Every structure is written in C-alpha cells, then in structure tokens.
Amino acid sequence: MVHLFLLHEFGSGNPLGLTFVLDWIPFSPYYTLKDSLSLIIVLNLFCYLVFAVPDLLGHTINYEKANFLVTPVHIVPEWYLLFFYAVLRSVTDKLLGFFFMVSSILVLLLLPFILRNVIIKSGNFRP
C-alpha cells in the first residue's frame, strides 16, 4: 500500500534520474493493473509453496533426531548475517570487530549524504 501511495503521489522514476513532465504515464489503469497482476502472481506462488509443497525449501537435516550434546557442523548464520560473521571472524579483537561492524553500517547510512549533489542518480553513466 505504501508503494502504491508513493507511486501515485510522486510518479514512477526513470533510469536516467532526470524528470520531464511530458514523459509521465498516468497512474490508473497502467500501474493499478500491473501491481494487481504482480500481487496475484506472488500470492499464487506463496499459496502453492505453503499448501502444496511446504517442505520444498526446507533442509532435510530438520528431520534428524536432535543430539543435545553435539553442535552440528553445518550450522552457519543466515545469508543476511554472513557479512558480519566474516568481519568478526577476520578480526581477532572483539572490540575492534564490533567497531568494524558498526562502521560498515554507518558508511551505508552516510552514503546518501555523500551523493546528495549528484544530478544524474542512475549508475549507467558512473560505472
């Protein structure tokens, strides 16, 4: 709903990042039908995964009997935490590793302020 509201309020962006009023496409029916169709496709895929094949994306190790005395070798962090896991493993000092993790997030938070004065927002002309 937020996506639809923002799309209706500000319009769609373009790859070059340059705005021109005559290039705008009306919100309805184009975006309404496009977003409705994509929502129906995603919900159908989700319902298929949940009701027809719920174990398709699961691990077969989940069906083994648990041994509380031994930690399995295959346990790794989730994909979105692998970066932080690698940072902590590469630095021997815990406090320095924590500092590197926090600084990596701060660099991402400061990036919009660094690129604030760029006229062309697209990466097509800035490889």
Annotated active-site residue 90? The verdict is: no
Annotated active-site residue 12? The verdict is: yes
d(CA 12, CA 109): 24
Q: Which of 9, 64, 78, 93 is catalytic?
A: 78
Q: Which of 23, 34, 36, 38 is catalytic?
A: 34
Annotated active-site residue 34? The verdict is: yes
Annotated active-site residue 59? The verdict is: no
* Residues with active-site annotation: 8, 12, 34-35, 78
